Amino acid sequence: MRAQTLTPENLRKQFVSRAIRNIKRGYADDESGRGMFRSEIRLDLQRSRLMTESYKATEGEAMVLRRAKALANILNKMGIFIRDYERIVGYQTAEPNGIFHPIEQNWKSPQRLANSPAGKTLLDDAGRKELDELCKYWKGKSISDRHQAVLPEDLKKYWTYEGTFLWSQLSELGIPNYEKLFNLGLQGLINEIREKMARLDQKIPADYVEQKDFLTASIISLEAVINFAKRYAVLAKESAVRQKNATRKKILEEIAETCAWVPANPPRTFIEAIQFFYFIHLVRYLEYSTLGIGVRIDYLFGPYYEKDLKEGKITKEETLGILQLLWIKLNELGLVYSPTVSSVYSGVASLQAVTIGGTDEKGRDVTNDLTYLTMEAAKSLKIIEPSIALRVHEGTPDEVYSRATDVIKTGIGYPSLFNDEALIPLYERWGVPKNEAKQYAVSGCVYIEIPGKNVVRRSVGYFVLPKCLWWALHQGVNPKTGEQHGAKTPDPATFKSWEDVLEAYAEQVKFFTSKIETLERINNELLTQYAPRPFYSALLDGCIEQGKDCRRWVYNSLLHHFSQVIGGTNVADAITAIKKIVFEDRKVTLPELITIMDKNWAGREDVRLACLNAPKFGNDDDYADEIARIVQTRGEAAMEEVKDRFGHSHRGDGSAVSATYGLAADTPATPDGRFDREPFADSTLAPAPGRDKKGPTAVLKSCSKISTVNTFNHLLNQKFLPKFLEDDLKPAFLSYLKTWKKLKVPHIQFNVVDRETLLKAKAQPERYSDLIVRVAGFSAYFVDLSSGLQDHIIARTEQTLT
C-alpha cells in the first residue's frame, strides 16, 4: 500500500484544534470574550439527541441496560463519514469540526456556555433551541442535578468552589486491556461473556439479576461497536466503487476490509491493530466522558508492525505515515468543559498522552522501531496532542535519550520523561504488585495507570495547598464573614515553632480532603447507580468474571482517586519564611506577620522582602529543602488519612494543570512573600519562579530531596534555551537527563523556547498561532492562553548555561 500522500503540514490543516481557552480565572472572567473554542468548532448534538431518544424509550428498564441501549442507539444511528485522505476512520460527531457534551452528566454548563459570549459560536439558533429541548428532559435527571439534590445541608457550601478546592465532575481515567482485546477480538469477548452467563444460569446466585443485566448490557454495547465498524466498512466499500483514483480506491478497499474484520476479530496487521484501537478509544469517549489514552504504543503495536515488516507488507516510512494519521485522529477528540473548569484546563483538548519505553512485566526493556517512529511522528507534526510519556529505566538505550532530546528541542514540550526508578517503588507503596507496576502507563499529564486493571480513577478535583495554610493561619475562620469554614485549628499566637504551623496546616489539608472526598463519594454512588459503563467494564480484567460493572468494585491496589494538589512549593517556602523571620530572626511575631500579610503587605514591603529573601526551595540549600521535604510528606500523609468508599486513601497527584495560575486567584497573600492572587509555583516540584538562583543542577538536587515514595507522582517543568540541546552541548544535556534519573526525581519535561519568542508571540498572536508551550502535563498553543497565564509561563525561570 502506498504511503499517505499528505505532507505533515497539510495533515495539520485537516483538523481544527479542540483546545480550550481559559475564559475564567477561578470564578472571575479571564478574557471570556475571546470564546472558549475556535470559531469553527460546533457543539454536535447528535450524541445528546440519540441518547435522549433512547432514554425516553427505555424508561423502567435496568439502568445498565438503558446505558447500553443508549450507546447502541448512538453507534447505530450517528452520521458517519470518511475524509478523502483518511486511512484510519471514525469520528465522535456528525461533522469534522464537532465536539459533544455528555448531557446526562450536566446540561446546565453547556446550555449556559452556548448562550454566553464565550460559546455563542458553538451553536446556531436552531441548535440552541434543540439544546433547550434536550435539557428539559435532563432537568432533575442528570448526575449533576441528582448530586445537588442529595447533598447533606452542611456539605452544600463546599460543593461551590471558594478557593480551597474545585471538585470536578469530569476526568475519569483508565486504560483497557488492549492485549486481551487484540487476542480475542470483541466477538471472542462476547463469547467469553456468553460462557459466563451460561455458568451463571447454572448457579443463580443472590445477585443473579444484577449480574445478568450487566452481562447482557455488555454484549449489547460490544455488538453495537462491531456494527459501528461494519457501517464504516459498508461506507468505504460504496465509496471505493465510486472512486476513480486508483490509489485512493485501494485505500478505501483496505478500509472496508479492515472495518469488516476489526474490532470483531483479532487484528492481523499493524493497520488493523491501529484501527481496532481507535474504535475502542472513540467509543470509550462516547460511552462516558473521559480523558487520556495511556496506550503503550511500542509495546502494544510492536509485534504487529514487526510481523508486517518481516512479511514485506509494510515499510518504516509507511508506518510513520500511519502514525501521523493516527495523531490527526486523536486531535479530533475534545470535550466541552464548564467555563470554571477552563480555569484549570487552559489550552487542553483531551489531555491525551501515549506511553513509550519502559519495561515489560519481567523488567526487560521494550524499545523497538515504534519507540523511535512515535517520536518521529510527533516531531514531524508538532501538534499539542497526544503528549508522549517516555518511561526511562536502567536499561533504556542511549539512543532513546538522544532521539527524545531531538524532539524536545523542537519546543513541543514532550516527550516528558518518567523515571521508573522513582515511580515503581511508589506504586509498590500504593499496593500494586511489582510485576504489574512494571507495566504502568501514563494516560495524560502524570496520570499513572496499570493497563487493563479495573482502576476507574477519577481526578476528583484541584486542591489548593496554600489556601489550606492560609486557613491554618486564620483558625479556619473567614476573616471577612467570621464564618468557620475550615477546621478549627489553634490560635497562631500560641504557636511556638514552625512545626506548630505545619500541624495546623496538615489539619486543614485533612479537613478539606474529607470534604472533597465526601462530595466525590456521593458522586461515585450516583455514577454507580445512574451511569454504569457496560462497554468499558468489559474491556477491563475482572468485570466479566465477577459479573460486575467497574464502578461496583475496585482492583485491589491503592492506585485510586486523587486530587491534583497545587502550590506545595509555596507552602514549603512560606513555612520556611515563618521559621526564619518569626522564630529565628524575630523580626515580627506570627500574629503581626499575618496582619501585615492580610493587608497584602501594604506599607510593609520590608516584611514582604524579608519573607521573600528567606531561603527558598530549589537552590540545593538544605535549610529550605529539608522543610520542603517535611511539608510535602506531612501534607500527603494528612490527605491519605481520608479514605474513599472502598477504604482506599485519597491521594495527591502532581498534574497541577493550569490551576497554579487559575486557582491562585482565590488565595490571598501568603508568608512566602507572595501577593494576593499571584500565581503559585508551577507543577508540584518546581521552585517558585525566579527564586531558584543556582541553576538547573541545584533545582534537580532540591527536587531529589522530596521523597516520591512518601508523597506522590510529581511533575517538574524546566525551561531551557534551544541551543543547550544541540550540537556540542547536547552531550551535557544528555548527562543532565541521566543524572536526573539517578537522583530519582520522578518526572521532568521541558519548555524549549526563549523569552523573546514568547514576548513576541504575546504581542503578535496572529503570527505565532502554531507556537506550542508546555503548561503542566500537557502542551498548549500559546495563543490560547489568556494574557495572565502567558505571563505565568514567561515568568518561569529560564535555565541558562555558562
Partner 1 sequence: MNDKEKGLIFNIQKFCVHDGPGIRTTVFMKGCPLSCPWCSNPESQNFVPEMMVRDINCRGCGACVQACPRGAITITKTAGRKINREKCDSCLSCVAACLYDSLKQCGKYLTVAKVVNEVLQDKIFYENSGGGVTLSGGEPLSQPAFAKKFLTACKKEGLHTALETSGVGSWTSMESLLPVVDLLLFDIKQLDSDKHRKTTGIKNDLILENLQKAARLGLSELWLRVPLIASFNDSENHIRQIATLGIELGAQKISLLPYHEGGKAKSKQLGKTYSYEQGKAPGENHIRKLKHLIEKEGLAVTVGN
Positions that interact with partner 1 (CB under 8 A):
605-606, 609-610, 613, 620, 694-698, 701, 724, 728-729, 731-732, 735-736, 738-739, 742-743, 799, 801-802
The CA-based angle 217-220-222, given to 5 degrees, is 110
Smallest gap, in angstroms, from Cβ of residue 799 to partner 1? 8
Residue carrying the nine cell digits 552531550: 731
Task: Find out whether the peptide bond into 263 is cis, omega within 30 degrees of 0.
Answer: yes
Q: Residue 7 or residue 613: which is nearer to partner 1 going by CB?
A: 613
Contact by Cβ (8 Å): 633, 593: no
Helices (H), 4-115: 8-12, 46-57, 63-77, 108-114
Q: Residue 150 or residue 801: which is nearer to partner 1 going by CB?
A: 801
Contact by Cβ (8 Å): 688, 613: no
Residue carrying the nine cell digits 458553538: 122
Smallest gap, in angstroms, from Cβ of residue 358 to partner 1? 21
Smallest gap, in angstroms, from Cβ of residue 748 to partner 1? 14
Contact by Cβ (8 Å): 173, 449: yes
Q: Residue 522 or residue 610: which is nearer to partner 1 going by CB?
A: 610
Rg (CA), the chain: 26
Q: Residue 284 or residue 608: which is nearer to partner 1 going by CB?
A: 608
Q: Residue 58 or residue 600: which is nearer to partner 1 going by CB?
A: 600
Q: Which three cell numbers stand for residue 462?
A: 484541584
Segment (H or E) for 28: strand 28-29
Residue carrying the nine cell digits 461506507: 235
Smallest gap, in angstroms, from Cβ of residue 735 to partner 1? 3
Smallest gap, in angstroms, from Cβ of residue 761 to partner 1? 25
Number of alpha carbons in the 13 Å side-chain half-sphere of residue 139:
8
Q: Residue 125 or residue 728: which is nearer to partner 1 going by CB?
A: 728
Smallest gap, in angstroms, from Cβ of residue 473 to partner 1? 23
d(CA 455, CA 559): 7
Smallest gap, in angstroms, from Cβ of residue 677 to partner 1? 22
Q: Residue 597 or residue 785: which is nearer to partner 1 going by CB?
A: 597
Count H helices and E strands in the chain, helices first.
Answer: 31, 18
Smallest gap, in angstroms, from Cβ of residue 692 to partner 1? 11
Smallest gap, in angstroms, from Cβ of residue 470 to partner 1? 24
Query: Cβ atoms within 10 A of the Cβ of 384, count?
Result: 28
Smallest gap, in angstroms, from Cβ of residue 713 to partner 1? 23
Q: Residue 194 or residue 742: which is nearer to partner 1 going by CB?
A: 742
d(CA 428, CA 741): 19
At 283, which amino acid appears? V
d(CA 256, CA 250): 10
Residue 645 phi, psi dihedral angles, 5° rounding: -70, -15
d(CA 470, CA 480): 13
Cα 698 to chain centroid, rounded: 29
Q: Residue 383 or residue 716: which is nearer to partner 1 going by CB?
A: 716
Contact by Cβ (8 Å): 560, 455: yes
Q: Residue 379 or residue 694: which is nearer to partner 1 going by CB?
A: 694
d(CA 610, CA 602): 14
Q: Residue 104 or residue 625: which is nearer to partner 1 going by CB?
A: 625
Smallest gap, in angstroms, from Cβ of residue 725 to partner 1? 12
